[in-house]
Amino acid sequence: MRAAVMYRAGDVRVEDRPDPKIVQPGDAVVRTVASCVCGSDLWPYASMPATETGRPMGHEFLGVVEETGADVTGLKAGDLVVAPFKYCDNTCDYCAKGLHNSCRHGGRYGFDGVDGGQGEAVRVPYADGTLVKLPVAADSALLPSLLTLSDVMTTGHHGAVTAGVGPGDTVLVIGDGAVGLCAVIAAVRRGAERVLLMGHHPTRTDLGRDFGATDVIAERGEEGVARVREATGDGVEKVIEAVGTRESLDTAFGAVLDGGTISRLGVPQYEEGPIGPSTFLRNITLTGGASPARAYIEQLLPDILDGTITPGRVLDRGFTLDQTPDAYRAMADRQVLKAHISL
C-alpha cells in the first residue's frame, strides 16, 4: 500500500509499505477513506531529527473495515468506521472512567508496528474497543465532519467539558487553529452565551464567528489580555487554551479571573509553567489535556448526523494521498487551516 512517512523535519514522503494484515485476534484492517493532517503533526514536521526507517504519519482517519481478527465481534467487513486518535481496549479501568487516551493497552498510530492514518490502510489493534461504526454511506457529504471525531472535534469538546462550560457562560478560546475552532463549536453546543476567540488569521476567525464566537480578539500577549479584560469587564472564568506555547499559557493566566479554570488542549511546548504563589492565591485551576476522543464519539455523533454542528468546515482544502507532502507544507505555511486527505 501507499502511505506517508516522515524521515526528518520537513521531509514527508509517500511510499510503498507492506499491506497491513491481522496480527492479533482483536485487530481489524481498515481501508482508509479519508484522513487529515493534525496541528500536532506540525511539531515533528518542524523539529524531528533524521531517522533512517522513518515514521508512518497520521492518527485521524475513517474508513471501511476490510478484515477482522477472530476475536472481533462488533465489526464486520464493509462497516464504515471512524478511529479515535489513539487505539484503546475500551474495557480497562482508565477506559471505564472515560480516560481512553490513558488506556492500559492503548497506543499511537505510527508506533510499535501499527500503521499511521495517512495511508491506504491501517491495522487497528483492539478494534472492538477502538472503532465506532458510522451509520452513513462511504460517500456521505457528512464525512469531513465525521472525520473530525477522530481528534479535533472531540478535542475541542474535551476543552469545553474540562473547563466546565455550561449554559450562559462566557468562555475565552485562545487559538484559531482547527482545535480552537472546534472548541468554539463545543462551547456554543454546551450553552455558552459569549465566546471570545483569540486569533489573528481573519479567514479562521471568520469561521469561528460562523461557529458562534461572539467576539474576536486579534491581539496576543499582554495586549490580548487587556482586550479580554476590556471586553468582559474584568476577565473570564473559563479559558480554553488551544495553542500550546508558553506565550498562550501566560495569556490564559492573564485573562482568567480568580477562581477560574484554564483547560489546555494544545500540547505544551514547555516543560515548566507559572504555577507559583500568584496562581495559588488566585485559586486558578489548570485542567484539560489530551482528549479521550473515544469517550466522546457517540456523544457528538448525533449532532453531526442531524447537522447541528459542522466541524468538517475546518478541513478547508482537499489533497490526494500522493499530495500529502504538499498538505504538510501548506499547513506549516499557514496557507491551509487543516488538510483533508481523500483516498
Site residues, its own copies (CB under 8 A):
94, 97, 99, 101-102, 162, 258-259, 264, 267-268, 270-277, 279-290, 292
Q: Please give the angle made by the CA atoms of 39, 197 and 341, to the nearest 5 degrees.
A: 30
Q: How far is the C-alpha of 268 from the C-alpha of 244, rounded, in Å? A: 4
CB nearer to its own copies: give 13 or 108.
108
Q: How far is the C-alpha of 82 from the C-alpha of 76, rounded, in Å? A: 14
Strands 194-198 and 80-83: unpaired
CB 11, min distance to its own copies, A? 23
CB 336, min distance to its own copies, A? 26
CA 27 to chain centre: 24
CB nearer to its own copies: give 108 or 200.
108
Q: How far is the C-alpha of 220 from the C-alpha of 198, rounded, in Å? A: 7
CB atoms within 10 A of CB 309: 23
CA 304 to chain centre: 16
CB atoms within 10 A of CB 97: 11
CB 105, min distance to its own copies, A? 14
CB nearer to its own copies: give 24 or 283.
283
CB 334, min distance to its own copies, A? 23
Residue type, 282: R
CB nearer to its own copies: give 18 or 168.
168
CB 301, min distance to its own copies, A? 22
CB nearer to its own copies: give 150 or 162.
162
CB 78, min distance to its own copies, A? 35
Task: Work out the burial of residue 312: count CB atoms within 10 Å of its CB; fewer than 13 is exposed, 13-18 middle, 19 or more buried.
Answer: buried
CB nearer to its own copies: give 27 or 169.
169
> What grid cell was written down for 337?
487551516
